[in-house]
Amino acid sequence: MLRLRQQPPESPDAAPALHPVIDEVASAWPFTDAAIDLSPAAPGVYFLYENGRLLYIGLAVNGSSIRDELAIHRRGAYGECTRNATAFTYELARDPRAVHRRYLAAHRARCDGRLPAGNERELES
């Protein structure tokens, strides 16, 4: 289990700290229609897992919400890889694009330059 040290409060202008959600599935929501319906109708970053393995780091911006994007993945419109997810987590963010880039960079740093499988497929298409 991942343990976090207490961090001093951030100033309102500071970039958000990265949370260890790319390793954490204990607090993930099941990837079901009911759980998706409870997810926020707001922009942010979301994470899709299959049996504990991170599949995809996604982004909800430009009028789309985390709930909208998760529902699209669940229907399979973004492909089988993410449709087969079993759990998800999310993070609301003032600047979702910047947070998304930071999570992708953190994943690459931890995984020998690789992205999650769903993000790799996205780059290939």
Summarize the confidence of residues 12-21 as an average pLDDT.
46
What does the pLDDT look like over 76-109, one tens digit per residue?
999 888 999 999 999 999 999 999 999 999 999 9
Amino acid at the residue 34 = A
Task: Tell me the domains of the chain and their CATH numbers.
Answer: 20-124 (3.40.1440.10)
What does the pLDDT look like over 40-73, one tens digit per residue?
999 999 999 998 889 999 999 999 999 999 999 9
Q: What's the Rg (C-alpha) of the chain?
A: 14
Cβ atoms of 34 and 99 closer than 8 Å = no
Which residue is associated with the tokens 């922009």? 43
